[in-house]
A = this chain, B = another copy of it.
Amino acid sequence: MNIDLIEAAAQRLAGHVRRTPLLSSPFLDDIAGRRVLVKPECLQHTGSFKFRGGWSALSALPDDQRANGVIAFSSGNHAQGVAYAAKLHGVPAVIIMPSDAPKLKIDNTRALGAEVVLYDRAGEDRDALGARLAAERGLTLVKPFDDPQVIAGQGTAGLEIAEQAAELGVTHADVMVCCGGGGLTSGIALALEARAPDLRARPAEPQGFDDVKRSLATGTIQRNPALSGSICDAIITPQPGDMTFPIMNRLCGPGIAVTEDECLHAMALAFLRLKIVLEPGGAVGLASALFHGDEIEGDTVIAVASGGNVDPDMFQTALSRFL
């Protein structure tokens, strides 16, 4: 796993993945007490950075293997990213989703061209189901984070951050990244190491689900005590990946854990000041930049806003409570 893989992914992604801008607002600067730059990956195709990794993985496959199709497990953003990347490549995608996943996400994934296979969380073995389908049809599994080409795809966001920060004269800053399994965080960390070594990736997580923060603090992989119960559903994973953790452990600064209220508040401020839509899990990085300034170094902070696939009710809750 190195910068060459990320550069190669960037070549494959060119013209297919959106180059998201860096946004800012003097009002957010005032709140944070330093300059705040926001990388809105909610504006990426399918509403999250996951399309980068999906496209990278699909485009890296040999033609004949890709033609057989791909398979992924996901109830959310990875599902849509892989489904749309497969559709644009003209190959089949099977997405295994829990039957109690939000109807909108199931409908979206289907509408993006994927065959959705539902399973019962309680009674069925997801992995066995996936393995059987993959074997029967010759499908290639696209993992959500612990895969070199997926990490490389997410890392292209880091290449863009390095370039865009340099254009603004920013060479020293903490880069707060919403972190689940660590694919985006480790990809960005690798890109920054090579292209902007004084920008430092730092994982941001919800309190109670700060496995990466604790893993970095101890130097060994730690698990979350719970696997559900957060509004930040997009970034809740049991533990950092076997592939992503060593990268984060080598390159990242300390993690920051934020409250759910801080996420909702950051969503409301992103609405008001940046005119972008964030989901709770996609607002964790911005929340850390705005409300945990005492844990951040430097006169500029960069926050990756990783996704915007939020239900209207949750969004309205954020606006009602914090505006």
Q: Check: A229 CB closer than 8 A to any chain B CB.
A: no
Give complex CA distance A268, B108 in Å.
16
Interface residues of A in 269-323 (CB under 8 A from B): 271-272, 274-278, 308, 312, 315-316, 319-320, 323
A282, closest chain B residue (CB):
B275
Give complex CA distance A213, B19 in Å.
35
Could you list 20 examples of A-B contacts with CB < 8 Å?
A20-B21, A21-B21, A23-B43, A26-B84, A40-B275, A43-B274, A268-B312, A271-B312, A271-B315, A272-B312, A275-B276, A275-B277, A275-B278, A276-B276, A276-B277, A312-B320, A312-B323, A315-B319, A316-B316, A316-B320
- Write the nearest CB–CB distance from A88 to chain B, whole angstroms: 9
Candidates B26, B268, B323; contact of A112 at CB < 8 Å? B26
Q: Are A43 and B21 touching (Cβ within 8 A)?
A: yes
Number of interface residues, chain A, beta carbon within 8 A: 33
What is the count of identical protomers in the complex? 2
- Residue interface mask A43-61, B partner, CB < 8 A = 1: 1000100000000000000
- Write the nearest CB–CB distance from A85 to chain B, whole angstroms: 12
| Chain B residues whose CB sits within 8 angstroms of the CB of A276 once the complex forms | 43, 275-277
Q: Check: A42 CB closer than 8 A to any chain B CB.
A: yes
A21-B21, A27-B111, A47-B275 given. 5 additional CB < 8 A pairs?
Answer: A21-B43, A30-B111, A42-B275, A271-B277, A275-B278
Interface residues of A in 174-224 (CB under 8 A from B): none
Q: Check: A105 CB closer than 8 A to any chain B CB.
A: no
Q: Check: A34 CB closer than 8 A to any chain B CB.
A: no
Give complex CA distance A108, B30 in Å.
13
Q: Check: A18 CB closer than 8 A to any chain B CB.
A: yes
A167, closest chain B residue (CB):
B15
A42, closest chain B residue (CB):
B275
| Chain B residues whose CB sits within 8 angstroms of the CB of A316 once the complex forms | 316, 319-320
- Write the nearest CB–CB distance from A275 to chain B, whole angstroms: 4
